[in-house]
Amino acid sequence: MLRGSIVKSRSFLLLLIISLFVFMLSGCGADNQTSVTPTPEPSTPPTPTPTPEPSPETSDSGSNKPKGPVYEPIGSSLAEAYADYFLIGTIYTPNTLVDPERSLVIEQFNCITPENIMKPESMQPSEGYFAFTLPDAMLKFAEENNIKVIGHTLVWHQQSGRFLGQTSDREKAIEQLRNHITNVVGNYKGRIMAWDVVNEAVKDGAPLPADGDWTKCLRETQWLRSIGPDYIEMAFRFAHEADPDAKLYYNDYNMNDEVKAKVVHAMVKDLRAKGVPIHGIGMQGHYDTNVSIESVEKSIKMFSELGVEVSITELDISVNDASVSKSLTEEQEVRQAIVYAKLFKLFKQYKDNIVRVTFWGTIDSKSWRRDKFPCLFRNDYTPKEAYYAILDPEKYLAEHGVAEE
């Protein structure tokens, strides 16, 4: 009897424990359940809206004309007009890769010179580090469009950073000079037709001494102080070693000034007699409408007698009486155009000596002399009178009653 009671008690206790466990399990499930979003009824997916094709920005009036200037093909090309004479060049900037500048350059020119991206401090912004990205893009553009490239410039007293030549240790300065030229020229070996090796090394207004010592007429620069006058010879030899096929130039402004021209003539003659590889002289050509055509011709003849190439490397003609806040008057445009026509008539006469004529800019508003409107194209990329004067200088001069000189 006692044994039966014990069995019943155990059974009741077991049942109680099982019931309690089930109750607790049910409670935990309720506390932790996650709500389920009902599955929506199937529906037809919406038709995607196609992305519209890019189109030029239009003006507020709804016109289809793009905002900003557009270069409209002129139907003529300066490069083609002078194909039998010499190369026709202009400057290159990163903006040249973008229209309207790109289209203008491709249609009108067959040669480019970088305005700033290859100057010493741009190529070697810190000692031992060379920045080739921007020049690489220029070379790619030029090669894709069959355009020649001029390297500008290797040795200059400006835009050369804080370390190049800035030392009293001659041997260190020579190594800096060699390293810069070797790396820059060597990197583009076979791809650049000519280099402005030394730029603006002669002082203004310093007449050649009676003994012919041109070194007394050199500009005071970091290279002259750290190395001495022979830095010029070294620069040309280093450049030639880096690319034996490239033409190497001395480049300077006011080269139609007889005083400076005589110094440069003596320098180049002396260096070439020593076997220094100087192949050309660059006359920059930053003139104004009062320039003496006779003075330009005199220098071309003087330099040609040395047996070197001559190039007009940075041509622009400023209008002296231009108003900064206004565009040129018709009379001013024609006056400027007549000077351009006279110059190109002269250049054609020396086609056997002149290899290239490069303009230092395309449109007036982007010129370094923008306040004097020196370029061939207006700010809206339309050609000025100067463009047509250069296209056929003899015809332009005849039409404007300019007598033969």
Q: What type of residue is 338?
A: I
368: buried, middle or exposed (CB in 10 Å: 19+, 13-18, 0-12)?
A: middle
Rounded Cα distance, 236 and 243, in Å? 11
Strand 111-114, strand 148-155: pairing: parallel
CA 348/CA 312 separation, integer angstroms: 12
For residues 291 and 261, is the Cβ–Cβ distance under 8 A? no
Rounded to 5 degrees, φ, ψ at 257 are -80, 120
Cα separations in angstroms, 369 against 85, 99, 314: 28, 22, 12
Kindly report each contact of residues 322-326 with a partner whose C-beta sits within 8 Å and lies 24 or more positions away, as own/partner.
322/371, 322/372, 322/373, 324/371
- Based on the residue annotation, tell me whether 314 is a catalytic residue of this protein: yes
Question: Please, what's the b/e burial string for 46-66 (b: 16 or more CB within 10 A of its CB; e: otherwise)?
Answer: eeeeeeeeeeeeeeeeeeeee
Contact between 285 and 344 (Cβ < 8 Å): no
Q: Are 369 and 316 in contact (CB under 8 A)?
A: yes
Check if the beta carbon of residue 193 is closer than 8 Å to that of residue 147: no
Residue type, 384: K
Candidates 115, 200, 314, 385; catalytic one: 314
Evaluated on CA atoms 361, 362, 366, 369, the torsion sign reads positive
Helix (H, G, I), strand (E, B) or coil at 292: coil
H or E stretch covering 340: helix 330-349
Residue 287: left if φ>0, alpha if ψ -120 to 50, beta else—which one? beta
Where do the H-state alpha helices sit in 33-94? 78-81
Which residues carry out catalysis?
314
